Each structure stands twice: as structure tokens, then as C-alpha cells.
Amino acid sequence: MKSINIFPLTIFCAPIGFPCPENDPDKSRSQLIQQIVAMRDQSEPPTSEIAAWTGDVRGHEFLHNDPAFSPLFEAFENSVELYLQQMGLDASQLNLYFTRSWAVVAGAGERVNRHAHLQSHLSLVYYLQKPAIGGRIAFLHPSPPNEFVPGLFETKMASLFTGPRNETNSNNMIVDVNEGDVVIFPSRTEHTTESHQSTEPRISISSDIVITLKDSTKQEFLLPNLEHWKQMRT
Ligand SMILES: [Fe+2]
């Protein structure tokens, strides 16, 4: 007897540490943390007491264009290339763009609600400051392939299960990551975070990536090269 699990979702995780061209990564890292905390302190706070601060909707959504973050984004590029290799894709045929990049700061008791980045193709999260406890990321499946009765994997049906819950019989999976890890996943994947538990904030950097073809000749589905686009008069 055997079970064959097909159609897995890949969450790519690379331990990149804190890439820094200088000799003092601790100092550079704490400068980035200070810069992000200043962004938070100088912008509007979240409307909910349990919501983490997210820079994307508070005027801090283009960190990929900030020179202070360049070493990090170079490392992100390397990780995305490895992800594409692992997916068996030929990155040399593709153009990749960081389109939106922002920090998230979660204090004790704060979290990020369930969402997906539907405007983008790939997304990544990098953990600049990640206390050991709390604030783990969870990925959710709105229609798990094995859920043969709608709602079977919901929490309210948990009493029906006697065996271990795992990726074959769950609609959400927590991924435990460490400080210095970058996590890459399809942007349409719904995700959330646990409530953060530590008094030391969790500080992460998210980035959305859009992919186009270098040459769209005879290709139907990916976006064509931006050089062929024409902006409309608006
Ligand atoms: Fe997200």
C-alpha cells in the first residue's frame, strides 16, 4: 500500500543571513532596523490594535529603490534565481522586476491577517529581525485537493480526526523560519501570521516580483517584454 501525494505547493526557504558588503554586518543590520522603525514611527499607525504595521500602504513601498537595502535585494535576486532553477525554469528567458517592497513590523500581540498578493507573480519575505517565539507565517489553501467534503479540514470539524494532521489533511500549514531566512512563494498563495509573542518586534521585508518574457514570440501566457508595451493616454 502506498499514498502518492501530487500537486505540492513549494515554499522555498533560503538562509541568506544578513548580506552586507562592509565588515560590520551587525551595525548595518541595526541601521536598517532603525530606518524601518523610523518609517513606522513617522507614519499613520494601524487602525487595529492587533494589526502589525505594514509599509506598503503607508508610503514606504519601494524599498528596492533605496540604496541602503541594495545588498539585501541583490541577495534576494540570487535566491529567486535558485527558486526558478528548482522549478526547472530557464531564468535566462525571463525578465524579473521587483515591483513593490515594504517592511512589516509586528509588536507583541500583533499579526498580519489572511491575504494574498494578487497583483504579482512571485512574493518573498525576508526576516530581518525574528525573535524565536511567535509570529510564524502560515500558508492557507482555500480548496485543499483532499478535502472531499467541503469544510472537512476546518477547525470546527477537528473532532472527526484521530490521526496526525499534516499537509495532506489540513487547509493551513505553519512554516517555522529563522532570522536571516528568505521565503519565496507564488504570490497568489494565501498567507497570514501568528500573533507575535515576543516583546522584541518581528521585522520582515516583503517584496512582490512580476515576470515577463524577454521574447514572447509564439508564447501565449506570460507577459510580453515591457519594451513592446504602449502606455495609454489617461
Ligand atoms: Fe503578505
Terminal Cα distance for the chain, rounded: 62
Is-contact 209 121, C-beta < 8 A? yes
φ, ψ (nearest 5 deg) of residue 97: -130, 130
CB 182 within 8 A of CB 126: yes
Query: 205 CA to middle of ligand 1, Å?
Result: 10
Domains present along the chain, CATH in parentheses: 12-19+26-136+176-214 (2.60.120.620)
* 87 Cβ contact list (under 8 Å, min separation 6): 10
- Return mean pLDDT, the chain: 96
Nearest of 94, 59, 85 to residue 222 by alpha carbon: 94
Q: How far is the CA of 2 from the centre of ligand 1 (A)?
A: 36
C-alpha closest to that of 52 among 170, 180, 196, 162 = 196
Give the helix/strand (H/E) hosting 208: strand 202-213
Average pLDDT on 91-111 reads 97
Query: How far is the centre of ligand 1, averaged over its atoms, from the C-alpha of 136 (Å)?
Result: 12
pLDDT at 20: 86
Pairwise pLDDT comparison (36 vs 47), residue with the higher score? 36
Name the residue with higher pLDDT: 24 or 120: 120
Asked whether the whole model's pTM tops 0.75, one would answer: yes
Interior angle at CA 76, CA 203 and CA 208, nearest 5? 75
